[in-house]
Chains A and B, each alone.
Chain A
């Protein structure tokens, strides 16, 4: 049950990109093509899982007063590990990510999860939370990347689809516009689903009440007889 809750939170209910609007800098900068979005998302996911697990394991050892510097130190170490690995094994991706790779350290999502989830939960749950939060982030970045790549470059994951392109979507202003529209769409769909769920919830107790009313009527009728 808890696993399902964590998954839903990470992917939809508290989606870091569209719902919480955290980690905006890489979202805007690295979604010109879909593959960069995936790369950034996976790098963040890796750091998020590792830091969440370590923070959770050390949660009783870290004094409350110095917890933020301690979290930052943990995160910065994992980011350094990731950037070394990428530099060695994926030099192309390392080049395109450029300055945004070390900047994962100050990505608010990671510190926020360490502070609000990992420091009160067991390591297994913390790892799951990191996984799903990271997936939510990756999914959002990939979606934005796909849309911007199709519109701005006429391509899908590097495969050219057609010669029609709107350069605007590859540029900086296009990034802001795409992100704005994605958040608006997400919140519109989300609130309409929530409204429907609420509607169902309000219907149910009413039905129960009418059942019980039925029962009382029958009882009253019995007594009368």
Chain B
């Protein structure tokens, strides 16, 4: 039951993009086409899961025993950058097809604040009690991100064909679409878990 709560909270109630405003840059930047949005989403799911596992273990079993917890931000950002780099190399070597479809998005992920955000939030969230729940939270937060970005890209493909007042073109109209999506997700906030 506890894990089910984490899953629902991560995907809907605390959706990273639409409720917590994390990872807005790729959400607005890479959502022009559904295909690329999905590619970005898969890459984010992957990195987020591994990053939350590694970051949580590193904090709990290395930084805290050594009493250098205050270095967590610096350590986390390097863990994420390193992970992205390793992932890129592994994919290039063993899964060329996947690398081709995901490769472009990988370097962008290092500066995606959702990844660093999930690593930081795992330390303070009341729902995260151990390594398993931290990893699950990472995995399903990534799925929540993918859900939001794919939905937005679907809307944008339609909206970009319309005639829109010039100042509203580009970012503003995308954000207005995101506003309506956020309204839909706002309702999940009324669910008490």
- The answer to the question of A180 belonging to the interface, with a C-beta cut-off of 8 Å to chain B, is yes
CA distance A184 to B165 in the complex (A): 9
Between B23, B24, B81, B117, the greatest number of chain A beta carbons within 10 A of the residue's beta carbon is seen for: B24
CB-CB under 8 A from B112, the residues of chain A are 106
Q: A69-B81, A99-B120, A105-B116 are in contact. Are A176 and B175 (CB under 8 A)?
A: yes
Q: Mark A101-112, 1 if CB is under 8 A from B, else 0.
A: 011011110010
Number of interface residues of A (CB under 8 A): 41
Do B73 and A102 have beta carbons less than 8 Å apart? yes
Taking the closest CB of chain B, its distance from the CB of A54, in whole angstroms, is: 15
CB-CB under 8 A from B124, the residues of chain A are 98-99
- The answer to the question of B18 belonging to the interface, with a C-beta cut-off of 8 Å to chain A, is yes
Interface of chain A residues 146 through 204 with chain B (CB within 8 A): 171-177, 179-181, 183-185, 187-188, 191
Do A76 and B179 have beta carbons less than 8 Å apart? no
CB-based nearest A residue for B165: A184
In-complex Cβ contact of B77 among A83, A105, A173, A180 (8 A): A105
Among A1-9, A24-32, A132-140, A205-213, the one that faces the other chain is A24-32
CA distance A124 to B78 in the complex (A): 29
What secondary structure prevails in chain B residues at the interface with A?
Answer: helix
In-complex Cβ contact of B25 among A25, A84, A185 (8 A): A25
Do B179 and A99 have beta carbons less than 8 Å apart? no
Do B171 and A108 have beta carbons less than 8 Å apart? no
CB-CB under 8 A from B9, the residues of chain A are none
Interface of chain B residues 128 through 170 with chain A (CB within 8 A): 165-168
Between B81, B112, B173, B176, the greatest number of chain A beta carbons within 10 A of the residue's beta carbon is seen for: B176
CA distance A175 to B20 in the complex (A): 11
CA distance A59 to B140 in the complex (A): 41
Taking the closest CB of chain A, its distance from the CB of B46, in whole angstroms, is: 18
On A, residues with C-beta under 8 Å from B are: 21-22, 24-26, 28-29, 69, 72-73, 76-77, 79-80, 83-84, 98-99, 102-103, 105-108, 111, 171-177, 179-181, 183-185, 187-188, 191
- The answer to the question of B96 belonging to the interface, with a C-beta cut-off of 8 Å to chain A, is no
Do B74 and A25 have beta carbons less than 8 Å apart? no
Q: A84-B70, A105-B77 are in contact. Are A176 and B179 (CB under 8 A)?
A: yes
- The answer to the question of B48 belonging to the interface, with a C-beta cut-off of 8 Å to chain A, is no
CB-based nearest A residue for B184: A173
- Can you list 30 pairs linking A and B with CB atoms under 8 Å apart? A25-B21, A25-B24, A25-B113, A26-B21, A28-B21, A80-B74, A98-B124, A99-B117, A99-B121, A102-B72, A102-B73, A102-B120, A103-B113, A103-B120, A105-B77, A172-B21, A172-B182, A173-B180, A173-B182, A173-B183, A176-B176, A176-B179, A176-B182, A177-B179, A180-B172, A180-B175, A183-B175, A184-B165, A184-B167, A187-B172
In-complex Cβ contact of B113 among A80, A106, A185, A191 (8 A): A106
CA distance A171 to B21 in the complex (A): 11
CA distance A35 to B28 in the complex (A): 26
In-complex Cβ contact of A24 among B25, B74, B167, B185 (8 A): B25
Do B167 and A76 have beta carbons less than 8 Å apart? no
Taking the closest CB of chain B, its distance from the CB of A170, in whole angstroms, is: 11
- The answer to the question of B53 belonging to the interface, with a C-beta cut-off of 8 Å to chain A, is no
CA distance A141 to B115 in the complex (A): 24
Interface of chain B residues 9 through 61 with chain A (CB within 8 A): 18-25, 28
- The answer to the question of B71 belonging to the interface, with a C-beta cut-off of 8 Å to chain A, is yes
CB-based nearest A residue for B29: A21
Do B167 and A185 have beta carbons less than 8 Å apart? yes
In-complex Cβ contact of B179 among A105, A111, A180, A185 (8 A): A180
